[in-house]
Amino acid sequence: MILRSSLKLDKAYVLLYNLQYRYIDMIKTKDILPVCGVIVAVIYSWNLYRFVWILPSWLKFLTVGEIFNILSMTLAISFLDTLLVLGLLIIVALIVPFQWFRDDFVFRGCLFGLYVLIFAVYLASNVVPLNLLPVYSMGSLVVFIFLQLWGGRVLRIRSLVLVLADRAIVFLYVYLPMTLVGIVSIVLRAIW
């Protein structure tokens, strides 16, 4: 009886330990930063590219203040996009076995983020009908899995991705303060 209850306690302890290990200590901030940098670089750059593309037509009709508001909205939306993609990435990392993702979070996270965002850029730039979306998604997923498996073993690709991820951190220092200013301006405008 005592033995059985102590076994139960052991199991509970292991479960709690695993939960803590999985959910709390799982991904370190220093690992998240480069992945976040890559995501921010792609999302913000695309949105700003679209912004600059439309900007000339706005210059004629809108005031500088209104264009600043549009930029603020753009940055805020990009920030939400970033949270969404990063959140998705972390959820995937929680669900799949450690050795598939967590243990090599920076490399696999960057590749995963790039895969999702490049596919999103393709979908944004092209008209892919709804009924063909699963086909396109599966096709690109196969390419992604191949890159994950093959790229992880090729030292050059691996180091290239890691170096890029490390450099991408600089985008956080550029874009996030801009976003903060934008969000503050939106809040202030909503109040007044």
- Tokens linked to 190: 């909503």
Burial of residue 158 (number of CB atoms within 10 Å: 0-12, 13-18, 19+):
middle
- 57 near other proteins, judged by CB under 8 A: yes
The DSSP call for residue 152 is: T
**Taking the complex as a whole, how short is the minimal distance between the CB of residue 129 and other proteins, in angstroms?**
8
**Taking the complex as a whole, how short is the minimal distance between the CB of residue 53 and other proteins, in angstroms?**
9
Within positions 143 to 182, which residues make up the interface with other proteins, using CB under 8 A? Answer: none
- 125 near other proteins, judged by CB under 8 A: yes
Residue of 121, 157, 162, 169 interacting with other proteins (CB under 8 A) = 121
Angle between helices 29-61 and 105-125 (to 10 degrees): 20
- 8 near other proteins, judged by CB under 8 A: no
Q: Which residue's CB is nearer to other proteins, number 127 or number 155?
A: 127
| Continuous segment of H or E residues that includes residue 128 | none
Q: Which of the ranges 5-13, 24-32, 117-125, 165-173 carries the binding residues for other proteins, by CB under 8 A?
A: 117-125
CA gap 15, 13 in Å, rounded: 5
- 81 near other proteins, judged by CB under 8 A: yes
Residue 126 backbone dihedrals phi, psi, to 5 degrees:
-125, 160
